[in-house]
Structure 1
Amino acid sequence: MKFTEILTPDNIRQGMVYSSKKTMFESIGRMVESKIAESEFPSSQCFAGLFNREKLGCTGLGNGVAMPRAKLPVGDKAIAIFLQLSEPLDYDALDKRDVDLIFVTLIPEGMCSQYISVLEEFSQRLTDKSLCKQLRAAQSADEIWQIFEYADKAFEQQNEQQSQQQNQTEQTE
């Protein structure tokens, strides 16, 4: 799956500053509330979902990247929010490194099992040092969006090449 299938340009924030993980989750809740009717998913419920998931284990991926996630009680499509922080945030990550790149995923409750492999794939791609370097250097939300579009195209090309190699191997056997 592509980043740009669940992330939209209007869900990208560049140069954000938060004093704590809690204030960041509250801010994310307000962003989500503006996308989904408040009666269906109030910001407090989004905050609670992110916060409670974090209690189960830190969603820091290492290398200054985190991928917090929560379940959406409504909807049929996952939502992503990307935050580039201007000042790294203490995130209690296993590698003890502060976090400055956050890729939030919110998945409809009935679709969680369908997204397990997607979350694993995203977490691997988000820790790519080249991608992280580009995302950190981005000066605008538009630039971040272009980086994700480029990363998706490169990933797609890589998958096509692997598929072609696999087909060639199968044909020669």
Structure 2
Amino acid sequence: MRRQWRRTRRSTAESTPGRPRVDPSPSIYKKTERIQRMRFTDFVNHQSVSAQLESLDKEDAIRELITALVKVGDVPANQHEEVVGRIMEREKMGTTGIGNGVAVPHAKHPAVSRTIGTIGLSSQGVAFDALDGGAVHILFLLISPPDQSEHHLQILEKISRHLREDLFCRFLQQARTDTEIRQVLEDVDNADL
């Protein structure tokens, strides 16, 4: 029945004079394809990842990740505290600690010209006010320019999709070195192709 409805609708749209032809592949499919082709290596600076965060609370952990991005030149040093403040403002709107030991702190800020991200792991756990009340062990921080809202959302969607996969989270949590984190991300990138 549904298949018949699609044929009828398409043929009606195509045969109506003065009406544009209906594109049989909606933009949602194109968007999904773009997200699947997006690679972690496109936005995560592998030199900034940390397998051993020292911070035990939300703001300090965010500050530690931003410091790593400053060290590799992705965030200007004179913008460090302002970027931390912007992410903390975003946290006040609602926690990005999504549960199951995962948080995705993110914000838009003009200090960056492209979307950048980093990952921090904490074996002790970070008090992050997560939705499930548990400690956070995987922090995936993301900063985008203010004029790239759609791209920011697409990357958040990719991150969220992978963080919902138990295997991905387990491999990240088992990483003991920055190199092992990078390897997990590269493996995921290669598997997505």
Query: 2:116 matched to which residue of 1?
Result: 79
For residue 12 of structure 1, what is the amino acid of its counterpart?
V
Q: Distance in 1 between matches of 2:68 and 2:149?
A: 21
Question: Percent same amino acid among aligned pairs?
Answer: 27
Shift of 1:60: 1.4
Among 90, 98, 107, the alignment partner of 2:144 is: 107
Shift of 1:124: 1.7
Is 2:130 the counterpart of 1:93?
A: yes
Comparing 54-63 with 117-126, greater Cα deviation is found at: 117-126
Alpha-carbon deviations, 1:63-109, whole Å to 9, x = none? 11111001121443111010011211121111222100001000011
Counterparts of residues 4-19 of structure 1 (less than 5 Å): 4-19=41-56
Extract structure 1 runs of 4+ deviating beyond 6 A: none
SS in 1 for 2:131: coil
Q: Distance in 2 between matches of 1:47 and 1:37?
A: 12
Contact 1:63-1:127 at 8 Å conserved across structures: no
Higher strand share: 1
Pair member with larger Rg: 2
Unaligned runs of 5+ in 1: 157-173
TM-score between both structures, scaled by the size of structure 2: 0.74
SS in 2 for 1:22: helix
For residue 174 of structure 2, what is the amino acid of its counterpart?
A
Unaligned runs of 5+ in 2: 1-37
SS in 2 for 1:84: strand
Q: Distance in 2 between matches of 1:75 and 1:23?
A: 21
Cα gap change, 1:151 to 1:125, in 2 (>3 Å): same
Contact 2:40-2:189 at 8 Å conserved across structures: yes
TM-score between both structures, scaled by the size of structure 1: 0.82
Among 77, 87, 98, the alignment partner of 1:38 is: 77
Shift of 1:37: 2.8
Comparing 70-79 with 13-22, greater Cα deviation is found at: 70-79
Shift of 1:30: 2.4
Contact 1:3-1:152 at 8 Å conserved across structures: yes
Cα gap change, 1:18 to 1:38, in 2 (>3 Å): closer
- Counting matched residue pairs gives 154
SS in 1 for 2:48: strand
